[in-house]
Amino acid sequence: MTVHRRGITKNSESSAIEKKIKRGNAQRQASSWKDNVTIPIMILLATGLVSWMYYTWTDDRIQTLVSRGELLTQARVFTVDCSEDYKKYKVFPGCTPTKCGRAVSDIVVTLEEAQKLRRLAEQGLSLAGSDGGASILDLHSGALSMGKQFVNVYRYFKDQIRDVFTEEDFQLYSDVRGRIQMAIAETFGLDSSQMYLTKPTFFSGINSSSAKTTHDEYWHPHIDKETYGSFDYTSLLYLSDYGVDFGGGRFVFMDSSSNKTVEPRAGRVSFFSSGSENLHHVEKVTWGTRFAITVSFTCDPDYAIDNPSLP
Ligand SMILES: *[C@@H]1O[C@H](CO)[C@@H](O)[C@H](O)[C@H]1NC(C)=O
Ligand SMILES: *[C@@H]1O[C@H](CO)[C@@H](O)[C@H](O)[C@H]1NC(C)=O
């Protein structure tokens, strides 16, 4: 009996305890259910807030087309509608842009070639250089930035120039130029024999010194075909790395919807049709030196130039 009574007592006690436990479990379940939902909502709100602050407090919307850290194993192509610009000029079938856009490739030029060309750029530009942070050396015309103006390296340094540049260097430049031309032809469906090298085509070295003349103001948005009527395709071969060799200096395509950047990487080639569908600018370099080569092409044989060569 005692046992039975105790049993009953125990039973009623234990059921009371069980109820408590069940209630506790239910509360815990309810609160963990809330936690499970609250945390993702909080994260969502926080991300939303951060991106809102990002878009509000940075003046432009930036989309990275290709980052420095990526190594493209094939060309990355972005097509855009061609502007009307080409209609103002004579049309050369097989060359005049009918398909427009931008592309980036890391397989046209090897890193080794880029390093050689970079040494060439460094040596050439070290002969003088602009006071204002943006120095150029045009191997074709011989124009080299010096202080607030330009000199002709071939005339200024005469035979000494052969201590700086060799036939082999010029051969490398020609090979690279030929491969870039093929890549452009392939991407835009052109006959590469109808494309010609045009001027200016130059090495550039940009550092953070402030501009002294308008020649140093490389960061203004511009359209290559407006600046140089002869241009139909523009290409850039980067010789140094964004974020490693220099800060700032990203290439920016400025579309009405957003700005799209290409981050320089040694050996990376970026090319695009030169009309107003490709309005662009280069960000100001904040530290280090940004080396690149601009190689431009025309469809008009009247504006063709030969590969640069030692005089
Ligand atoms: C692109 O960048 C420029 C210059 O930084 C800025 O003025 C412009 O508003 C940006 N465009 C967009 C769509 O954010
Ligand atoms: C930038 O380059 C020019 C020309 O080579 C040089 O005179 C100047 O000192 C450099 N500026 C910086 C900040 O390195």
Q: What is the CATH number of the domain that holds 98?
A: 2.60.120.620
Distance 134 CA to ligand 2 centre (A): 9
pLDDT tens digit sequence for 52-62:
555 555 555 78
The closest-lying atom of ligand 2 relative to the alpha carbon of residue 205 is 2
CA 151, 155, 159 angle in degrees (round to 5)? 130
pLDDT value of residue 79: 97
pLDDT tens digit sequence for 266-306:
999 999 999 999 999 999 999 999 999 999 999 999 999 99
How many domains does the chain contain in total?
1
Which of 55, 56, 57, 60 maximizes ligand 1 atoms within 8 Å of its Cβ, making it the mutation to test the pocket? 60
Whether residue 30 lies inside any domain: the answer is yes
Ligand 1 pocket, residue 59 CB under 6 Å: yes
Whether residue 311 lies inside any domain: the answer is no
Which of 55, 56, 57, 59 maximizes ligand 1 atoms within 8 Å of its Cβ, making it the mutation to test the pocket? 59
Which of 254, 255, 258, 260 maximizes ligand 1 atoms within 8 Å of its Cβ, making it the mutation to test the pocket? 254
Structural domain including 257 reads 2-303
Residue owning the nearest CA to atom 7 of ligand 2: 131
Ligand 1 pocket, residue 259 CB under 6 Å: yes
State the catalytic residue, choosing from 102, 250, 268, 290. Answer: 290
The closest-lying atom of ligand 2 relative to the alpha carbon of residue 135 is 4
Q: Above 60 in pLDDT, residue 237?
A: yes
Using a 6 Å CB cutoff, which residues line ligand 2?
129-130, 133, 135, 207-209
From 29-33, 109-113, 220-224, the region with the lowest mean pLDDT: 29-33
- pTM, entire model: 0.81
From 75-79, 246-250, 305-309, the region with the lowest mean pLDDT: 305-309
Whether residue 310 lies inside any domain: the answer is no
Q: Above 50 in pLDDT, residue 182?
A: yes
pLDDT value of residue 2: 44
Distance 165 CA to ligand 2 centre (A): 22
Q: Above 80 in pLDDT, residue 141?
A: yes
pLDDT value of residue 43: 59
pLDDT value of residue 162: 87
Whether residue 309 lies inside any domain: the answer is no
Stretch 42-66: mean pLDDT, rounded?
A: 68
Ligand 1 pocket, residue 155 CB under 6 Å: no
Which tops the pLDDT comparison, 8 or 178? 178
The closest-lying atom of ligand 2 relative to the alpha carbon of residue 207 is 1
- CA-atom Rg of the chain in angstroms: 31
Mean per-residue pLDDT over the chain, rounded: 87
Dihedral sign computed on CA atoms, order 245, 116, 207, 226: negative
Whether residue 308 lies inside any domain: the answer is no
Whether residue 190 lies inside any domain: the answer is yes
- Confirm if 266 and 241 have CB atoms less than 8 A apart: yes
Q: Above 50 in pLDDT, residue 181?
A: yes
Residue of 193, 201, 199 lying closest to 93 (CA atoms): 193
Which tops the pLDDT comparison, 43 or 132? 132
Residue 111 CA to residue 241 CA, distance in Å, equals: 11
The reply to whether 179 belongs to the active site is no
Contacts of 253 (CB under 8 A, 6+ apart): 65, 102, 259, 260, 261, 262, 272, 278, 279, 280
Whether residue 160 lies inside any domain: the answer is yes
* Sequential DSSP letters for the chain: -HHHHHHHHHHHHHHHHHHHHHHHHHHHHHHHHHHHHHHHHHHHHHHHHHHHHHHHHSSS-EEEEE-TT---SS-EEEEE---GGGGGS---TTTS-SSEEEEEESSSS-HHHHHHHHHHHHHHHHTSEETTSEEEE-TTT-EEEEETEEEEHHHHSGGGHHHH--HHHHHHHHHHHHHHHHHHHHHHT--GGG-EEEEEEEEEEE-SSPPSSGGG-TTS-B-HHHHSTT-SEEEEEE-S-BTTTEEE--EEEE-SS-EEEE---TT-EEEEE-SGGG-EEEPPEEEE-EEEEEEEEES-GGG--PPP---
Closest ligand (CA of 125): 2
Whether residue 110 lies inside any domain: the answer is yes
Q: Above 80 in pLDDT, residue 106?
A: yes
